[in-house]
């Protein structure tokens, strides 16, 4: 079962990586989102306990590890902010270069 | 002697030209090279066979209900992401992405981890909204040309993707199989959340109190910077002629042959709105406000925090944009001025964190002002530094999200 | 008193907040921002002074939560030194921005973002917790990207896009490294990690975490082959920003490597070898790229690649020789920011606003003062006495020779090859700097359009002039800086003091 879970997270990461490397810039942006989802799932797996109960002070039983959850929260917010900025960059680039193809964005070279 | 000097210079020039040719300009090439170098270093120095040879691994074949649901959620997420690769239309790929994110929120909720699941769900919705906004403002011909590129594929990129997923699978397998592990810091948080910070929600206590400085930099500063960046880039840095060729509101596919409707029944892009949806919008915003308030006040003991509150509020305002159109929403909700919100929220948090310093604690120490001043507050509501922090986060997130949604949605209009 | 440790971060951060509220009053905003930067520098210089005189690291626990549960801000001599260096150079950056005529600098959100950049950078240097480091790095990446994207240069968004995508890969690597370290050791505090890693080096995920952490810093400091974002990014930004990016922002990676090789994973020998090897590749590539490029600013950006290569070779040679690397870091920051500002000044006076050689050819004769500054700055870059560039290259050479004579035959290549390249690269630097000087100041001014004229006023050359004067001064009175670098090098060779200061208990088996 752990094998399947790990495979799923790995597959998600691979899909995101493949999307990131595509020519259509919107797909590339979608790849970024999938990648950050995969990384967040990995951080979740870094929790030290197999949680049965939520991380609340009143709960009894094995609580899930609260620290990685706090880290994921922060990471999600950062990726959202970054992603919004990337989209605005893509916006300006597609207006300026009149293309949605990332291979044509090569004004800076040499 | 002079000939040798000339020869050396010419050799240098030729080598130099070769060197600068490597900067070809294509980001996909750069990314591929970097990924190949990364995987090469991992293969050479990462000592990967040690990871799975370790004896403390424990592989569990039992499948209970929660475990089965987790697997189902993961499967859904992977399938939806896969769909977003193969599907041709960009809009549908974005929707697939949205479902993938929600499936992941379910997986997270089954961890069990309700706070993070809430944040993931809310962020996923916002991401979908922002992506669709960005897509809809691209010129149509360009969009169709870009979609035609979706057919190509590449063996090299597929290999890189496979290498990446193998690496991640490897690490995750070790992570799952070596549980339970000793954590040196979590027991401290678990034991001290209620007594030292007054919070029952341990994750919330970590985010706002124990590691509050991280949250200050991330949820307030980074997010506000992103909002400011989107605003400045599109509003100020885009040249007039570039902005002029983008589709103006009302020009998108359907609108040109529609009659101009009176203002009170037209929404975004001049589309006719029904009384039902207008009633819904009138109900949605106050509801969002109530939800946000609950999340801020009781975030200490329940899932939800200032961040989710801010995003909920901004989604409510976004709904108003769609139903009532941009201009009328701005008229009625004039209080929402993004820069003001961001600046004041940062100052609120910095001021609120400095006060405990004066009162005998440290910078960013938790302090319950309500208890100190003996204020008669309802049960569960603490007027403390964490409360001020949550309010500040909500304001900053609202401001930044408004910057983003306004600017991406209406780049040709001048805001502030 | 330990509160002093967080002032270098808090002053820029709170000033940025106030600056955001001053969006509608540009003059007030500019004055406020500059004043805040000076105040921040005073606080970081004060911190450096306190740490230097007290002989102990200054540690502040945010919220007074005890380490390793809370976030520690640690100012040992290396952190304090680097934070002070960063803020010193940024004062000049703000000074240049004051006199700059870019439209970007006059955007209402420029100064808040510039202040965020310096806050994040200082925070990264002073961080005592790796997740805090991650968050600060993200702040630096985001503010740097935004500042570049709003540049007057029409390629700003493209440069920012490429940088952001590559930095995102680096951030994912950092997150994986943090996760792996938490899985293996259960803590995020750097001092705690250092003590536990020293006690147990057999954790299966440790080598992988080391590689991922190393790749993060390699991307941040633009080591070949992770450097692709750098020439574009450091060229297309507004001048005030690119001067900072190429001189101090890129040093975050260097700081990371210094911490990795001395505090966190000093047993990872492969890392040192990799740093030397990749440093050599950067030296060669950077020098050749600088010689072959068509734009003055871009030339200096490539030159940074080469100089950072030297610093990495110094770090890779090992801790006793980190003195040379630290000295080089500081001097390079001064020189490179001066030269980039000067290029921006020339570009602002050219007929079309660009630093391309084809446009700048011959415009130098209307800017004789800039020529003088360029001349001395170029000498510093190439390492000719009496500049600080010469001092740092001399130190590097001396440490290399000493190391080579002490080492076995097999290791000698690792020492002699970079020394040889030091000489070759200095000659190459001389060639391309001299060629640039001739192109701008010696050749006649023959523009494509007959009526294209050199503008009478551009940005203000005050900031680069002052910086080059400091370079000359440090070349002549080198002793105080050398002493400071020596002290820093001695401190980082004793990680035990760092760990004990943070954890306030016995540091276990660490050196």
- Which pLDDT tens digit goes with each residue over C370-389? 899 999 999 999 888 888 88
**CA B286 vs CA B36, B292, B298, B312, C241: distances in Å:** 52, 10, 18, 11, 44
* Confidence at residue B265, expressed as pLDDT on a 0 to 100 scale: 74
Is residue A7's pLDDT more than 80? yes
* Confidence at residue C119, expressed as pLDDT on a 0 to 100 scale: 95
Residue B130 CA to residue B132 CA, distance in Å, equals 5
* Confidence at residue A78, expressed as pLDDT on a 0 to 100 scale: 95
pLDDT tens digits along B154-196: 888 999 999 999 999 989 988 888 878 888 788 888 888 888 7
Interchain proximity C179–A42, CB inside 8 Å: yes
Mutate to test the interface with B, among A30, A46, A105 (most CBs of B within 10 A): A30
Using CB atoms, which residue from A48, A75, A89 is nearest to C186?
A48
B376-385, C58-67, C408-417: least confident range: C408-417
**DSSP character string of C6-52:** GHHHHHHHHHHHHHHHTTT-HHHHHHHHHHHHHHHHHHHHHHHHHHH
B193: closest CA of chain A, how far (Å): 7
Say if B73 falls within a structural domain. Answer: no
Would you place residue B100 in the very low, low, confident or very high pLDDT band (cuts 50, 70, 90)?
A: very high
Q: What is the mean pLDDT of residues C312-318?
A: 87
Which chains border A (3 or more CB–CB pairs < 8 Å)? B, C
Interchain proximity B113–A5, CB inside 8 Å: no
Is residue B239's pLDDT more than 80? no
* Confidence at residue C444, expressed as pLDDT on a 0 to 100 scale: 83
Would you place residue B151 in the very low, low, confident or very high pLDDT band (cuts 50, 70, 90)?
A: low
Question: Which strand (E) or helix (H) includes residue C61?
Answer: strand C58-61
C30: closest CA of chain B, how far (Å): 16
Rounded to 5°, angle at Cα B64 from B58 and B65 = 140
CA C488 to chain centre: 17
Q: How many C-beta neighbours within 10 Å does residue B192 have?
A: 17
Say if B202 falls within a structural domain. Answer: yes
* Confidence at residue B251, expressed as pLDDT on a 0 to 100 scale: 43
Q: What is the pTM of this model?
A: 0.93
Mutate to test the interface with A, among C120, C172, C296, C297 (most CBs of A within 10 A): C172
Would you place residue C340 in the very low, low, confident or very high pLDDT band (cuts 50, 70, 90)?
A: very high
Would you place residue C137 in the very low, low, confident or very high pLDDT band (cuts 50, 70, 90)?
A: very high
Using CB atoms, which residue from B138, B158, B180 is nearest to A50?
B180
B161 touches chain C (CB under 8 A): no
Mutate to test the interface with C, among A71, A81, A83, A100 (most CBs of C within 10 A): A71
Phi and psi angles of residue B384, each rounded to the nearest 5 degrees, phi first? -125, 180
Q: What percentage of chain A exceeds 90 in pLDDT?
A: 50
B147: closest CA of chain C, how far (Å): 21
Using CB atoms, which residue from A38, A48, A69 is nearest to B183?
A48
Q: What is the mean pLDDT of residues B36-42?
A: 94
| Contact predicate C13/C116, CB 8 Å | yes
What ipTM does this complex have?
A: 0.95
Residue B242 CA to residue B351 CA, distance in Å, equals 42
Q: How many CB pairs under 8 A join B and C?
A: 240
| Contact predicate C257/C226, CB 8 Å | no
Say if B170 falls within a structural domain. Answer: no
Q: What is the mean pLDDT of residues B274-285?
A: 90
Residues of chain B contacting residue C127, judged by C-beta atoms under 8 Å apart? none
B338-371 burial code (b ≥16 CB/10 A, e <16): bbbbbbbbbbbbbebbeebeeeebbbbbbbebee
C357 touches chain B (CB under 8 A): no
Q: How many C-beta neighbours within 10 Å does residue C449 have?
A: 8
pLDDT tens digits along C189-235: 999 999 999 998 888 889 999 999 999 999 999 998 999 999 999 99
A14 touches chain C (CB under 8 A): no
Domain count for chain B, please give it: 1
* Confidence at residue B255, expressed as pLDDT on a 0 to 100 scale: 45
Interchain proximity B113–A16, CB inside 8 Å: no
Interchain proximity C165–A75, CB inside 8 Å: no
C271 touches chain A (CB under 8 A): no
Q: What is the mean pLDDT of residues C323-349?
A: 91
DSSP summary character for residue B265: G
Interchain proximity C161–A110, CB inside 8 Å: no
Is residue C28's pLDDT more than 90? yes
Q: How many CB pairs under 8 A join A and B?
A: 338
Interchain proximity A71–C183, CB inside 8 Å: no
pLDDT tens digits along C272-283: 889 999 999 999
Q: How many C-beta neighbours within 10 Å does residue B147 have?
A: 18
Is residue C317's pLDDT more than 80? yes
Q: How many C-beta neighbours within 10 Å does residue C477 have?
A: 10
Using CB atoms, which residue from A43, A96, A97 is nearest to C175?
A43
Interchain proximity A107–C142, CB inside 8 Å: no
Q: Is C72 helix (H, G, I), strand (E, B) or coil?
A: strand
* Structure tokens that stand for B243 in this block: 């902005």
CA-wise closest residue to C454 among C357, C362, C356: C362
B362 touches chain C (CB under 8 A): yes
Q: Within the 243-302 window of chain C, which residues sit less than 8 Å (CB to CB) from chain B?
A: 270-271, 274, 285, 288-293
* Confidence at residue B57, expressed as pLDDT on a 0 to 100 scale: 58
Mutate to test the interface with C, among A20, A76, A78, A103 (most CBs of C within 10 A): A78
Residues of chain C contacting residue A68, judged by C-beta atoms under 8 Å apart? 179, 182
* Confidence at residue C172, expressed as pLDDT on a 0 to 100 scale: 96
Q: Within the 119-138 window of chain C, which residues sit less than 8 Å (CB to CB) from chain A?
A: 131, 135, 138
Residues of chain B contacting residue C228, judged by C-beta atoms under 8 Å apart? 23, 30, 33-34
Would you place residue C124 in the very low, low, confident or very high pLDDT band (cuts 50, 70, 90)?
A: very high
Would you place residue B236 in the very low, low, confident or very high pLDDT band (cuts 50, 70, 90)?
A: confident
**DSSP character string of B103-159:** HHHHHHHTTT-HHHHHHHHHHHHHHHHHHHHHHHTS-HHHHHHHHHGGG---HHHHH
Would you place residue A98 in the very low, low, confident or very high pLDDT band (cuts 50, 70, 90)?
A: confident
Interchain proximity B97–A94, CB inside 8 Å: no
| Contact predicate C296/C355, CB 8 Å | yes
Residue C385 CA to residue B93 CA, distance in Å, equals 61
Q: Which domains are delineated in chain A?
A: 2-53+63-97 (1.10.287.3510)
CA-wise closest residue to C127 among C173, C88, C53, C178: C178
Rounded to 5°, angle at Cα C344 from C343 and C350 = 90
DSSP summary character for residue C356: B
* Structure tokens that stand for B20 in this block: 């600068």
Interchain proximity A81–B227, CB inside 8 Å: yes
B232-246, C87-101, C170-184, C311-325: least confident range: B232-246
Would you place residue C509 in the very low, low, confident or very high pLDDT band (cuts 50, 70, 90)?
A: low
Residue A55 CA to residue A73 CA, distance in Å, equals 14
B207: nearest CA in chain A?
Answer: A70
Residues of chain A contacting residue C231, judged by C-beta atoms under 8 Å apart? 108
C285 touches chain A (CB under 8 A): no
Mutate to test the interface with A, among C141, C179, C216, C242 (most CBs of A within 10 A): C179
B150: nearest CA in chain A?
Answer: A24
Beta bridge partners of A63: A53
C420 touches chain A (CB under 8 A): no
> Which of B190-194, B266-270, C406-410 is predicted most confidently?
B190-194
Is residue B416's pLDDT more than 60? no
* Confidence at residue B78, expressed as pLDDT on a 0 to 100 scale: 96
Mutate to test the interface with B, among A3, A4, A7, A9 (most CBs of B within 10 A): A9
Q: Is C447 helix (H, G, I), strand (E, B) or coil?
A: coil
Residue C155 CA to residue A110 CA, distance in Å, equals 14
Is residue C332's pLDDT more than 70? yes
The whole-chain average pLDDT of chain C stands at 89
Is residue B352's pLDDT more than 90? no
Is residue B249's pLDDT more than 60? no
Rounded to 5°, angle at Cα B364 from C220 and B399 = 70
Is residue C31's pLDDT more than 70? yes
Q: C435 burial class (0-12, 13-18, 19+ CB within 10 angstroms)?
A: middle
pLDDT tens digits along C55-114: 888 898 888 888 788 889 999 999 999 999 999 999 999 999 998 888 889 888 999 999
A78 touches chain C (CB under 8 A): yes
The boundaries of the domain holding residue B395 are 189-416
Would you place residue B415 in the very low, low, confident or very high pLDDT band (cuts 50, 70, 90)?
A: very low
- Domain extent listing, chain C: 2-503
Residues of chain B contacting residue C143, judged by C-beta atoms under 8 Å apart? 225
B366 touches chain C (CB under 8 A): yes
CA C14 to chain centre: 23
Which chains border B (3 or more CB–CB pairs < 8 Å)? A, C
A8: nearest CA in chain B?
Answer: B74
Radius of gyration of chain A from its Cα atoms, rounded to whole angstroms: 19
Would you place residue B411 in the very low, low, confident or very high pLDDT band (cuts 50, 70, 90)?
A: low
Mutate to test the interface with A, among C109, C148, C154, C175 (most CBs of A within 10 A): C175
Interchain proximity B174–C109, CB inside 8 Å: no
* Confidence at residue B270, expressed as pLDDT on a 0 to 100 scale: 67
Interchain proximity A34–B307, CB inside 8 Å: no
C261 touches chain A (CB under 8 A): no
Residue B408 CA to residue B249 CA, distance in Å, equals 12
| Contact predicate B363/C6, CB 8 Å | yes
* Confidence at residue C194, expressed as pLDDT on a 0 to 100 scale: 92
The whole-chain average pLDDT of chain B stands at 82
Say if B147 falls within a structural domain. Answer: no
pLDDT tens digits along A59-85: 788 888 889 999 999 999 999 999 999
* Confidence at residue B234, expressed as pLDDT on a 0 to 100 scale: 85
């Amino acid at each position: 079962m752990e094998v399947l879970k790990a495979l799923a997270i790995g597959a998600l990461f691979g899909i995101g990586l493949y999307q990131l490397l595509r020519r259509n810039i919107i797909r590339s942006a979608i790849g970024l989102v999938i990648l950050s989802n995969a990384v967040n799932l990995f951080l979740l797996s870094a929790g030290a306990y197999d949680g049965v109960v939520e991380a609340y002070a009143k709960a009894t039983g094995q609580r899930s590890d609260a620290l990685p959850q706090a880290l994921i929260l922060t990471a999600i917010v950062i990726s959202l902010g970054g992603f919004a900025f990337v989209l605005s960059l893509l916006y300006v680039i597609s207006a300026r270069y009149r293309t949605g193809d990332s291979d044509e964005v090569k004004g800076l070279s040499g | 002697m002079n000939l040798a000097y000339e020869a050396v210079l010419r050799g240098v020039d030729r080598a130099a030209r070769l060197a600068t040719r490597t900067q070809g300009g294509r980001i996909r090439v750069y990314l591929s090279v970097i990924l190949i170098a990364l995987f090469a270093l991992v293969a050479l120095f990462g000592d990967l066979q040690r990871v799975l040879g370790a004896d403390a691994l424990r592989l569990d074949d039992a499948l209970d209900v929660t475990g089965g649901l987790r697997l189902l959620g993961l499967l859904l997420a992977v399938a939806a992401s896969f769909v977003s690769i193969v599907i041709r239309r960009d809009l549908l790929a974005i929707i697939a992405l949205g479902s993938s994110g929600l499936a992941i929120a379910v997986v997270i909720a089954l961890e069990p981890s309700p706070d993070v699941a809430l944040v993931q769900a809310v962020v996923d919705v916002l991401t979908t909204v922002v992506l669709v906004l960005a897509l809809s403002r691209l010129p149509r011909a360009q969009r169709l040309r870009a979609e035609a590129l979706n057919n190509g594929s590449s063996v090299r990129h597929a290999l890189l993707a496979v290498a990446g997923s193998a690496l991640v699978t490897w690490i995750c397998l070790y992570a799952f199989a070596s549980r339970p592990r000793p954590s040196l810091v979590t027991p401290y948080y678990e034991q001290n959340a209620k007594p030292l910070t007054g919070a029952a929600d341990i994750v919330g206590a970590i985010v706002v109190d124990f590691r509050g400085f991280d949250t200050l930099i991330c949820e307030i500063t980074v997010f506000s910077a992103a909002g400011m960046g989107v605003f400045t880039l599109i509003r100020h840095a885009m040249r007039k002629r570039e902005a002029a060729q983008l589709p103006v509101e009302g020009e998108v596919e359907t609108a040109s042959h529609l009659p101009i409707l009176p203002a009170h029944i037209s929404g975004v892009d001049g589309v006719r709105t029904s009384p039902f949806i207008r009633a819904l919008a009138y109900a949605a915003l106050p509801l969002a406000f109530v939800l946000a308030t609950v999340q801020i006040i009781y975030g200490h003991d329940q899932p939800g925090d200032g961040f989710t509150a801010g995003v909920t509020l901004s989604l409510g305002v976004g709904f108003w944009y769609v139903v009532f159109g941009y201009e009328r929403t701005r008229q009625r909700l004039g209080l929402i001025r993004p820069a003001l919100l961001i600046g004041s929220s940062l100052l609120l948090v910095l001021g609120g964190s400095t006060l405990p310093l004066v009162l005998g604690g440290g910078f960013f120490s938790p302090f319950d002002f309500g208890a100190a001043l003996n204020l008669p507050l309802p049960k569960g509501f603490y007027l403390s530094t964490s409360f001020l922090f949550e309010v500040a986060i909500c304001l900053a997130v609202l401001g930044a999200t408004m910057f983003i949604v306004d600017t991406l949605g209406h780049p040709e209009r001048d805001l502030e | 008193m330990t509160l002093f440790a967080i002032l270098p971060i808090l002053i820029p951060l709170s000033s940025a907040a106030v600056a955001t509220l001053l969006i509608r009053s540009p003059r007030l905003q500019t004055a406020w921002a500059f004043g805040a930067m000076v105040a921040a520098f005073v606080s970081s210089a004060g911190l450096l002074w306190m740490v230097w005189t007290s002989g102990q690291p200054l540690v502040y626990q945010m919220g007074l939560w005890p380490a390793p549960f809370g976030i520690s801000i640690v100012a040992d001599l290396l952190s304090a030194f680097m934070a002070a260096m960063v803020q010193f150079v940024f004062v000049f950056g703000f000074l240049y921005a004051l006199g700059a005529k870019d439209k970007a600098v006059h955007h209402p959100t420029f100064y808040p973002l510039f202040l965020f950049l310096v806050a994040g950078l200082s925070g990264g240097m002073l961080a005592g917790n790796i997740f805090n480091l991650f968050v600060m790095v993200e702040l630096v990446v985001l503010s740097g990207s935004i500042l570049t994207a709003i540049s007057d240069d029409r390629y700003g968004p493209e440069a920012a896009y490429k940088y952001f995508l590559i930095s995102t890969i680096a951030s994912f690597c950092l997150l994986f490294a943090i996760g792996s370290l938490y899985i293996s050791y259960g803590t995020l505090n750097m001092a705690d990690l250092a003590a536990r890693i020293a006690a147990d080096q057999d954790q299966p995920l440790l080598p992988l975490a080391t590689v991922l952490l190393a790749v993060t810093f390699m991307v941040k400091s633009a080591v070949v082959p992770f450097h692709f974002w750098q020439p574009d990014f450091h060229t297309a930004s507004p001048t005030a920003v690119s001067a900072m990016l190429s001189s101090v922002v890129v040093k975050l990676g260097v700081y990371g490597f210094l911490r990795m090789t001395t505090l966190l994973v000093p047993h990872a020998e492969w890392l040192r070898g990799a740093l030397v090897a990749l440093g050599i590749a950067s030296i060669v590539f950077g020098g050749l790229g600088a010689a072959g490029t068509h734009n003055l600013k871009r030339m200096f950006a490539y030159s940074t690649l080469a100089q950072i290569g030297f610093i990495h070779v110094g770090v890779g040679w090992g801790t006793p020789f980190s003195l040379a690397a630290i000295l080089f870091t500081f001097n390079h920051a001064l020189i490179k920011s001066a030269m980039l500002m000067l290029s921006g000044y020339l570009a602002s006076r050219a007929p079309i606003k660009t630093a391309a050689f084809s446009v700048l050819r011959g415009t130098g004769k209307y800017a004789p003062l800039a020529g003088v500054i360029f001349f001395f700055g170029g000498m510093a870059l190439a390492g000719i006495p009496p500049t600080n560039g010469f001092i740092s290259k001399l130190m590097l050479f001396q440490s290399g020779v000493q190391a080579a004579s002490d080492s076995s035959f097999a290791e000698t290549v690792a020492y002699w090859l970079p020394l040889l390249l030091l000489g070759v690269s200095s000659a190459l630097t001389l060639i391309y700097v001299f060629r640039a000087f001739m192109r701008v100041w010696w050749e006649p001014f023959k523009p494509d359009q007959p009526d294209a004229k050199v503008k009478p006023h551009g940005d203000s050359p005050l900031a680069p002039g002052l910086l080059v004067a400091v370079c000359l001064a440090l070349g002549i009175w080198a002793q105080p800086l050398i002493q400071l670098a020596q002290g820093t090098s001695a401190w980082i060779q004793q990680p035990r003091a760092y760990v004990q200061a943070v954890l306030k208990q016995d540091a276990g088996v660490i050196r």
